[in-house]
Homo-oligomer: A and B are copies of this chain.
Amino acid sequence: MKDLLTTLENRRTIREFTEEKIDEETIQKILDALMHSPTSMGLQQASLIRITDPMKKKEIAKVGNQEYIERVPELFIFIADHYRNFRLIRDNGRNYDTNSNVDIFLQGFTDAVILASNMVSVVESMDLGAFFIGSILNDTEKMIEILNLPKLTFPVVGVGFGHPNQNPQIKPKMPANLRVFENSYTYFENYKDKFKDYDEEMTTYYDLRDANRRVDSFSNQVYTKTMKSSPKRNEFLEIARKNSYKL
């Protein structure tokens, strides 16, 4: 296994995989290790759903509008899960009442992201390739249906992984001096000039998803990508409320 510093320094999102399966012993070892992940107040308010059913993979690929999800060897969906603790309280004869609020909701959301993040880092350390799936939130209600989720749960993010069958460039990211500040938030005078070098660096990157064409500057990407947010993704809080969260 690579150490995590080396893993991060060399990480690329991998979306295409060989046919080679990952053995069950390795999967179990990864999952057992993930259980030790940090968790808000020790309450472990998140769960994983491993998708092995090809029909369900297909449905999830459709929600995500990313056909490669259908072909990924290993697919996991991470959910905020307060149903388990609700049942644990109720089955012990107590009343679970006031605690499905925004505080507890975000704790579960955070727990789910930490688990997903650790899964990606672990598998990348093992020289496997992985991708995050934020696009499961394109249609949260459909995901709830596909996964048969109870009240007080919520899909947060997905992770796919396998043996890499592509070798993309490392995507340029902002340098630390644009993202790490000391003691107070740092306001730059002119963001256009400040991002000139990074904008330029980005245009040297070839995105394999986009027919190997060079990509746009970061400044242009920020504009076009944040403008095309889909209406359904903004129903997130309403759907969480439908699923019994008091937000």
Indicate if A125 sits at the interface (CB-CB under 8 A): yes
Distance (Å) between the CB of A7 and the closest chain B CB?
A: 8
Interface size on A, residues (CB 8 A): 113
B88 x A222 contact (CB < 8 A): yes
Complex partner residue of A183 from B46, B51, B236, CB under 8 angstroms: B51
Which residues of chain B have C-beta atoms less than 8 A from A79's C-beta? 185
Distance (Å) between the CB of A208 and the closest chain B CB?
A: 13
Extra A-B contacts (11), CB below 8 Å, given A11-B37, A44-B173: A3-B4, A8-B33, A32-B176, A46-B179, A84-B178, A89-B219, A89-B226, A92-B223, A106-B137, A117-B117, A118-B121
A positions within 8 Å CB-CB of B: 1-5, 7-11, 13, 28-44, 46-53, 56, 79, 81, 83-85, 87-92, 94, 96, 98-99, 101-104, 106-107, 109-110, 113-114, 117-118, 120-122, 125, 132, 134, 137, 147-150, 153, 156-157, 170-171, 173-176, 178-185, 187-188, 190-192, 195, 218-219, 221-223, 225-227, 229-230, 233-234, 236-237, 247
Which residues of chain B have C-beta atoms less than 8 A from A179's C-beta? 35, 44, 46-48, 81, 84
Give Cα distance in the complex from A114 to B103, angstroms: 19
Give Cα distance in the complex from A101 to B227, angstroms: 11
28 chain-A/chain-B pairs, Cβ below 8 angstroms: A3-B125, A4-B121, A5-B33, A8-B34, A9-B36, A32-B175, A34-B176, A35-B176, A36-B170, A38-B117, A38-B120, A41-B134, A49-B185, A51-B182, A52-B182, A56-B183, A83-B185, A87-B188, A87-B191, A88-B219, A92-B192, A94-B223, A102-B234, A103-B234, A103-B236, A110-B134, A114-B117, A148-B185
